[in-house]
Amino acid sequence: MLGSTLKSIREYAMTLFRLDASIRTEGSASREIADIVEAEWVAAHPGDAVERRHIGIDVLPASAWGHAITGSQTPADERSADQQAAVALAATLVDELLAADAVLLAVPLYNFGVSQHVKTWMDLVITDPRAAAGSDPLLAGKPVVLCTVRGGAYGGGTPREGWDHSTDYLRRILADVWGADLTVVEREFTLVGVNPALDDFADLAADMHQGALASAREAGKALAA
């Protein structure tokens, strides 16, 4: 009886894959939100695995994408050492996504665009045949939570409306190209309290912060389910 119970537990064990892209080791706003999502998932799946990759700190090599592209077009026994390493790295990144039952991404907006670390990660993933155009969507139906933060405000009617060139791109890749069941948790005005020019927005920023934390808890519960 005990053996069959343990076998059943192993069969139903789940894995969460978490990707962080902040360059900060302390005080990351995107990490704060993702931590709440992860905590909800872990509470519902005690003892199950959380696999991590922190591309903001353990940076993927910028040259790997080019080597992966040329390597994928070269017979395996003719690839250079750089091509072999890049193709293997891309395969590992895809393996991490495919092995996970749920995915959590913590991605800040940097300089109005997609973090270079995230772009490198996505470009490398797409070089793998399992993620290439024409193949089945990489994350088809898989629950994914994207936690994204912005230092300023970019909503409708603000002076910088339309300056966020990251979030829509991430939606296109994760949901439209990779087929993920995507939930986005967003927080703006993270630089209030840091940049004195934004001090007048302290109350609004505090409300946005609390709203983001509440949304993260809801998203974590849904992800765990």
Instruction: Categorize the per-residue pLDDT at 8 as very low, low, confident or very high, splitting at 50, 70 and 90.
Output: very low
Q: Closest Cα partner for 216 from 186, 193, 173, 196?
A: 186
Taking 50 as the threshold, does the pLDDT of residue 10 lie above it? no
Q: What is the DSSP string of the chain?
A: -HHHHHHHHHHH--EEEEEE--S-SSS-HHHHHHHHHHHHHHHHSTT-EEEEEETTTSPPPTTHHHHHHHHHTS-GGG--HHHHHHHHHHHHHHHHHHH-SEEEEEEE-BTTB--HHHHHHHHHHHHSGGGSTTSPPTTTT-EEEEEEE-SS--STTSTTTT---SHHHHHIIIIIIT--EEEEEEE--TTTTTSGGGGGGHHHHHHHHHHHHHHHHHHHHHHH-
Say which range, 8-22, 75-89, 140-154, 189-203, has the weakest mean pLDDT.
Answer: 8-22
Residue 6 has pLDDT above 70, yes or no: no
- CA nearest to 177, candidates 131, 215, 221: 131
Compute the distance between CA of residue 30 and CA of residue 104 in angstroms, rounded to an integer.
11
Span 83-135, pLDDT tens digits: 999 999 999 999 999 999 999 999 999 999 999 999 999 999 999 999 987 78
pLDDT at 135: 83
- The confidence score (pLDDT) of residue 11 equals 55
pLDDT value at residue 1: 55
pTM of the model: 0.91
User: In which region does residue 85 sit, left (phi positive, over 0), alpha (psi from -120 to 50) or beta (all else)?
Assistant: alpha
Q: What span, in angstroms and rounded, lies between the C-alpha atoms of 23 and 21?
A: 6
Instruction: Give pLDDT, residue 97.
Output: 98
Residues in the chain, total? 225
> Tens digits of per-residue pLDDT, 25-71?
889 999 999 999 999 999 999 999 999 999 999 999 999 999 999 99
pLDDT digits (tens, 9 = 90+) for 176-225: 999 999 999 999 999 999 999 999 999 999 999 999 999 999 999 999 98
Strand partners, 20: 54, 106
**For position 132, what pLDDT does the model report?**
84
Residue 7 has pLDDT above 70, yes or no: no
CB atoms within 10 A of CB 129: 11
CA distance 172 to 135: 17
Q: Please, which pLDDT band fits residue 161 given cuts at 50, 70 and 90?
A: very high
How far, CA to CA in Å, does 9 sit from each of 5, 6, 46, 125?
6, 5, 11, 31
